Amino acid sequence: MSEPTGLHVEIVTLFPELFDSFLAASLLGKAIASGIVRVDRTNPRDFGLGKHRSVDDTPYGGGPGMILRVEPLAAAIDHVETQRGRAHRILLSPQGLPLRQAKAAELATRQRLMLICGRYEGVDERVASLYADEILSIGDYVLSGGEVAAAVVIEVVTRLVPGVVGQSESIEDESFSSGRLEYPQFTRPPAFRGLPVPPVLLSGDHAEIERWRRQEALRRTHERRPDLLVAHPVTEVESRLFKGKSVPGGGKSG
């Protein structure tokens, strides 16, 4: 018996090999090697129909392309859960709710996630009706399948599992957790092609650096993603940081 892991992800995909290097590299590779994260892949093709293990068919009512059939997907999901237990099942589809940081944080608290990847022109609707606990989209564009979307979900969620990313502050500081884009970051050299690092960052004055960073985060959010300011309005603390200056995105300036 292996040790209980922080997060166990089940991927149901016709292209399990697409995940090979993604799961082996960098932080995720280390988290899997150390057992904090476990990922299993199951191919619905192994549950395909007939001699050719068919997984798709033409759409009822006509129209272009092929539709993933419900039976091989259902059999793959049932098999996984009979072997390893019920998982929170997510169908990846452009029809789903958009994935956001808050959703990722919620998913990171689960023990078992199942990511069900579609392919072809679509997936028989009964997969969503009978199996999906939720449907997630990674953005308003159409991928050729759910695999890249599943990789995105895995990366976003596993980063939040304790022990996967070194310093938890580096997660808390990041874009979106607070509804703000991240402040600009610099490392050596102090000047490059005429562009210097903002002097405050070299000042050693930590209070002033913190203040500058929060100002820049707010400025950037206002310029690039004003929609975030609607959901997360300028706070009292932020408006105090901007005392005497105009606050991007409105709000009070003390």
158 binds ligand ADE per the rule CB under 6 A: no
Q: Which is nearer to ligand ADE, 94 or 249 (CB)?
A: 94
Residues 40-69 interacting with ligand ADE (rule: CB under 6 A)? none
Q: Binders of ligand ADE among 119-148, rule CB under 6 A?
A: 137-139, 141-143, 146
Shortest Cβ contact with ligand ADE: which residue? Answer: 149
**Beta carbon of residue 91, minimum distance to ligand ADE (angstroms, whole number):** 8
3-state secondary structure the chain: CCCCCCEEEEEECCCHHHHHHHHHCHHHHHHHHCCCEEEEEECHHHHCECCCCECEECCCCCCCCCEECHHHHHHHHHHHHHHHCCCEEEEEEEEEEECCHHHHHHHCCCCEEEEEECCCCEECHHHHHHHCCEEEECCCCCCCCCHHHHHHHHHHHHCCCCCCCCCHHHHHCCCCCCCCCCCCCCCCCCEECCEECCHHHHCCCHHHHHHHHHHHHHHHHHHHCHHHHHHCCCCHHHHHHCCCCCCCCCCCCC
With CB under 6 A as the contact rule, the residue among 5, 13, 42, 93 that binds ligand ADE is 93
CB of 233 to ligand ADE, least distance (A): 29
| Min separation Cβ 158 and ligand ADE, Å | 18
Note whether 13 binds ligand ADE by CB under 6 A: no
Binding-site member from 44, 94, 179, 248 for ligand ADE (CB under 6 A): 94
Judged by CB under 6 A, does residue 149 bind ligand ADE?
A: yes
How many residues make contact with ligand ADE (CB under 6 A)? 12
Residues at the contact surface with ligand ADE, assessed by CB under 6 A? 92-94, 118, 137-139, 141-143, 146, 149
